Amino acid sequence: MAATRIDGKLVAQDVLATVKASASELESRHGVKPGLAVVLVGEDPASQVYVGSKGRMAQECGFHSVTHRLPADVPQAELLALIDLLNADPAIHGILQQLPLPKGLDADAVVGRIHPDKDVDGLTVVNAGRLASGQPDQAFVPCTPAGCMVLLRRALGADDLSGRRAVVVGRSNLVGKPMAQLLLLANATVTVAHSRTKDLPALCREADILVAAIGRPQALGPDCVKPGAVVIDVGINRIEAPERGEGKTRLVGDVAYAEAADIASAITPVPGGVGPMTIAMLMANTVTAAYRAAGETPPTF
């Protein structure tokens, strides 16, 4: 029996509906619009696309949306000064520094300058520490793992992660580590695998929940999937697709989808799975920041 396809677009629409309703309620009660500032340095084409989509979505959600575009040769001190201004601006509740930064700029210093209560990307060491020490209600969680948890809870039920074996393949600060911590907080038994893990397929086959976040196209085959497992594929990889015509490409995940779908009970597709959730959770984090700033209890997602 083929696995259930976990539709990230559909779940993201549901999250965004809650964001829009919550933003409207905050404005009606306090006269405050959630404010999101995005900072883009340089002319990286992919970053331009991402920043544009984030700005449009923020406006759709009824936010006060601001984009600051700086040249690639901007001095570090000038970029830090802008972050300081945004930290001090009461109309801005979330600050997002688009990465990567051009050479010569210290990304760690820039991200670290963002006030933790406005760090809606969840990248500061303060928010990482809050999550690691079991304070997710005080932290901002990076948007991709936060979205993965929403998908898992929709697939398994809110209380159905307890006691399950979870394997997270990948140990990045952006996805792998926070994903493992979120699963631990949900009372799953968690193993983190990585490039030095021995006999990765055998380890993955123990997982009731398999999260793939290694950035290698279709690296996890059917030998890595336990029958009945729930598979969350974070990978977005572009590969050549000659069947579509000369020079054409297509997107695939870190999991061999067709083969895994014959074994798993539920699986996220690529595209259309985790991807839509990332921007939805950025909006969710921003509205949460605005509610906290207003002394209100944030919505749940």
For residue 252, give the H/E element and its range.
strand 249-252
| Buried residues in 19-53 as b, exposed as e (16+ CB within 10 A) | bbebbeebbeeeebbbbbbbbbbbebeebeebbee
The answer for residues whose C-beta is within 8 angstroms of residue 229's C-beta and 6 or more apart is: 207, 208, 209, 210, 263, 264, 265
Residue 94's identity, in one-letter code, is G
Degrees, nearest 5: CA angle 37-41-42: 145
> For the chain, how long is the longest CA-to-CA vector?
58
Please state whether beta strands 249-252 and 237-240 pair in parallel, antiparallel, or not at all (unpaired).
Answer: antiparallel
| DSSP track, 159-193 | TTTTT-EEEEE---TTTHHHHHHHHHHTT-EEEEE
Question: Strand, coil or helix: what is 156?
Answer: helix
Residue count (the chain): 301
Please state whether beta strands 189-193 and 165-169 pair in parallel, antiparallel, or not at all (unpaired).
Answer: parallel
CB 11 within 8 A of CB 151: yes
Query: For residue 301, how many other CB atoms are within 10 A of its CB?
Result: 23
Residues recognised as catalytic: 54, 98, 121
- The count of C-alpha atoms lying within 13 angstroms of the C-alpha of 152, restricted to the half-sphere facing its C-beta, is 27
